[in-house]
Amino acid sequence: LKRCNFCGSNAPADFVAVFVGGSDLHPSGLISGSLSVAAMAYNPPARTPQDEEEAVLSNTTSLLQGALLEAIRRQSGDDASKVEQLLQMSKDAHTSNTMQSLSDLVDAISAKDLATVASAFNMMLTLENIAEDVSSHARTNVTALAGIDPIVGVTESTVDKLLAGGDWGKPRTKEAVAAALHQIHYDIVFTAHPTQVMRKSLLQKCQEIRNLMHSLRSKSLTPHDEEEQKEKLKMLIHTCWRTDELRRKPPTPEEEMRSNLSYVRMSIFPAVPVFLRRLSKMCVKAGLGEYPLDKSPFKFSSWMGGDRDGNPNVTASVTRNVVLTLRIEATNMYINEIQKLMFDLSSWRATPEFLAKLDLSAERFSKKYGDPAAITTMRRCRGYDAFFAPLAKNEPYRKMLAEVRDRLWDTRAALTAWLTEGGDMPEGLLPRQPGHDGLSSPVYEGPYVQKEELLQPLLAIRDSLIASGDGIIAEARLTDLIRQVTCFGLAFMALDVRQESTRHMEAMDAITQLLGLGSYASWSEEEKVKFLERELNSKRPLIPTAVMKEVSGTSRTDAPSQLNDEVKEVLATFATIAKLPLDSFGTYVISMAQTASDVLAVRLFQKEFGVASPMLRVAPLFETLDDLNNAAGSLKTLFSCEEYRNNHIVGGVQEVMIGYSDSGKDAGRLAAAWAQYETQEKLVRVAKDFGIDLVFFHGRGGTVGRGGGPVQLAVRAQPAGTIQKGRMRVTVQGEVIERQFGEMTTACGTLDAYVSAMMEAELRDPPPVKPEWRALMAELQSTSCEAYRQVVFRDPRFVEYFRDVTPSAELGRANIGSRPAKRKAVDSVGSIRAIPWIFAWTQTRFNLPVWLGVGDAIRLASQNPAQKAVLKDMYQNFIFFRTVIDLLEMVFAKSDQNIATLYDAKLATSQELKDMGSALRKNFMETRAAILSLAGHDDLLHGSKEEVNVPEKCKDRKMSGDARLKRHIDMRSVFITPLNLMQVRCLLETRNAAKAGQTSTPVKSTACMDARSDLALVEDALLLTVKGIAAGLQNTG
């Protein structure tokens, strides 16, 4: 083995020499000399998990980066040379602090070449992400050889610890552990928040590259197969290089939904039955019994097409289209699975009970379609793969599945017609009575309208197979499909609807004024609550029929409307919800919720428009620091409303959403985190007084500044008693969706982490929060919040400084999402959405919103010996505080004050702003030192923290999770730094051009790509740096 002087990793000496032309540079792209394709075949022998991971990472990175450089050389050898030169100088800059030389080299690149070089670095970081995925997968495979199930290993470890007791409290009984597992209901909500910077076209190609890299590691490949795989790999990378990486227009909400669907279709849908199958086997092995077939610990929901808060592009018609598209996609998936199942289930033996149901099926078809020839013709016209003619009785399961397939086809046809033609719900899709038995019906019923109808024949087949001695067949694809239907239903993903509270108030105000009842907006909260409670209890409709028809699209009059467009859109949303299947919706979320009337108004609108019982549950979203502090009072007022408490709490469970984004922007990360912690405790106490259960919906983002972090740490850090009966909802967005669910094995690992964390939260004895901890946290919160607000909200220089030294104003051009970056057209911190606020600071590697104020609080407390001792005690024993500090340490590891200095030096437009930047960087270093001192670390990520709940056999004694993270950060910095320097140059040039009145012509066609002006090329290069830095840091918003 030869030690690489780039990252310190070990790789075979001949391997290094072949890839770098005899030099000892790292193989991850710092390639000098020629690349030997033959050398790519090197497969290192399996060693420890760490050795395997490092060797595979080096091997994979070299193969991918080499193929990319080869593609660049085919286009321009000069560009490839510039890329290699920049890489070498970036490495030197990180080891010998020669940043100025690297900056000079970037400034010397022509505008024509700048976009190409930026694109190369962007692509290198994308390929580095793939290489890390592949190496992580290899490490998992090695641990699997040690007897650890890579699919449910973390959950298995949790079960073992709960049964054994010890550090986790008293031993739990098997019955208690099984009960806790069975009640888990974790709702994973995908949002359309704009943090995924990569185009869908490239995401799909990256998935193909990832799959190819996995297959290249197969020991069974013949030399010819291997050669073909590598040729395909080079073709894919060349295609990526030739694909325009920039979105030339913003995506529509429907496009965002379809992009999200690709993850569900390719990764999550097949991962769920695999995970549940392994989970059930693990339960049997642990003595817990099989995991029930009628349960799923997960539900998948979405905000894409339902989140209209500040997004005028999400309309009632968009919501309708998204709901129906999701249902159509569900039927597509089930039809494919049923056809596969028909090939599998060729068995002839069945129970008499099942055969009797089959006779009824034949009778139904005879009445509906006539003779066998007519049935055959019908099925051929539908384009099925096989099994057209009515099947013989010696294939009973295929015969039953043929009817299931036909009814699914009918379902899809009805939904498609409804989607394209509009109107009310077709008669064939109208709800049936709960518990309806379609297998006993003498009439062919056509489309499925609820998942229980689809489950009935599948469960009947399973019961018959098991009773006939064919249980091994029943437990295969059939059980997998039953698991999928149980999890996804006919809706596929439930759609949440979100709207801002003031929009509901404006709509209600318009109604009351129209009716001559006065101005609802001017009433006191007490008056609003009394009015709403009275109307909820009334059998008389409040909204006039003419208004109902107008917003529902059924009005035939041309008379001018008495309502403005904003009010009509709010009301049209409720009219649309009422027309669609209720199971297609999850929660109605009210952003910027402050009072009980905010919730009551939404329930009243649902009642007025006839949303089916029990209607959508309504969740107030408490976001700002003041909203969090007042949340308990608002909830108490809401629960005091007898009508609401008795008739409008769905299933006896009230959902409350906790906002991490706006509270962090409002008060700073530390102050917001403690407010979220205490608010949850207070809300649980209020709910308990009224005998109501709470389920918390955590609106987390990808970055620490928006509540992001490892799943298990996030769940562990929740207050005791706030995760009730295994219920929790959490948002997953943007690049986090790709990271957690990008491929099936990764999706299984994510599901494993969720289940393990929820079981631990339910059964592990949490240490009590000491009074002195609470007292000190209150002081830390106050001090940090004051220090944060003093800079962000009270310093008159700050907004201008933010606009100068970050790419905040330019982020909108990246066309990342369909939602505008600002709530209002006002240039203030308050008007900026939390995602671009965090995104902009992440790009500069300064991450100011995460750490600002924290250092002030810790330093002040550390001056008091008694409080300093409490700080140390909290870090060692208070998991909430420990998590906050450890995540801050990770943020500092990803930050770089030298890069931030460059942004200030070249972009700040006055000495006053430069002085502000200098003071903030001083604060940055002082806060960094305070964090290291508190954690007892000499340098960032140099602690000995163990990975969260990793099975003993999987723990890597040579490299902790922190050490691995630090190594990856250091490797990525060499690629990211040139992009930062290019970004600074691009920002300076585009802003100077704007001041001079210069503009560029938007690219509208392929021909325009080659005819771009220098300014257009620099603008493209700027956006490419945004994408590349985001890909390198792996969390942006």
pLDDT in tens, 50-105: 677 778 888 888 889 888 988 888 888 788 888 888 888 888 877 766 778 888 88
Catalytic residues: 193, 665
| pLDDT tens for each residue of 146-191 | 667 889 999 999 999 999 988 888 999 999 999 999 999 999 999 8
The residue ranges of the chain whose pLDDT is under 50 are: 1-46, 194-195, 944, 946-948, 953-959, 1006-1007, 1037
Start-end of H helices in 945-1013: 961-995, 1006-1009
- Terminal C-alpha separation, the chain: 40
Start-end of H helices in 217-247: 223-242
Q: What does DSSP assign to residue 171? A: P
The token duo for 483 is: 């698991």
Contacts of 863 (CB under 8 A, 6+ apart): none
Beta strand pairing status for 494-500 and 298-302? parallel
The Cα–Cα gap between 465 and 350 comes to 7
Sequence-ordered strand ranges (E) for 574-723: 585-591, 617-622, 653-659, 693-699
Sequence length of the chain is 1037
Contacts of 691 (CB under 8 A, 6+ apart): none
Q: What does DSSP assign to residue 83? A: H
Sequence-ordered strand ranges (E) for 477-611: 494-500, 585-591
| Closest of 814, 846, 623 to residue 734, by C-alpha | 814
User: Helix, strand or coil for residue 989?
Assistant: helix
Sequence-ordered strand ranges (E) for 325-419: none
Contacts of 1032 (CB under 8 A, 6+ apart): 125, 128, 972, 975, 976, 979
Instruction: Quote the percentage of the chain above a pLDDT of 70.
Output: 87
The gap from C-alpha 174 to its chain's centroid, in whole angstroms, comes to 33
The Cα–Cα gap between 658 and 887 comes to 19
- pLDDT in the model for residue 134: 84
- pLDDT in the model for residue 327: 97
Q: 590 phi and psi, to 5 degrees?
A: -105, 110
Sequence-ordered strand ranges (E) for 595-692: 617-622, 653-659
Positive or negative, the CA dihedral 471, 473, 476, 482 is negative
Bridge partners (DSSP) of residue 497 are 588
- pLDDT in the model for residue 769: 94
- In this structure, are residues 300 and 488 in contact, taking their beta carbons and an 8 Å threshold? yes
Does this model's pTM top 0.85? My answer is: yes
| Closest of 269, 292, 136, 274 to residue 214, by C-alpha | 136
Packing angle between helix 669-689 and helix 771-792, nearest 10 degrees?
130
- In this structure, are residues 478 and 462 in contact, taking their beta carbons and an 8 Å threshold? yes
Using CB atoms within 10 A of its CB, is residue 618 exposed (0-12), middle (13-18) or buried (19+)?
buried
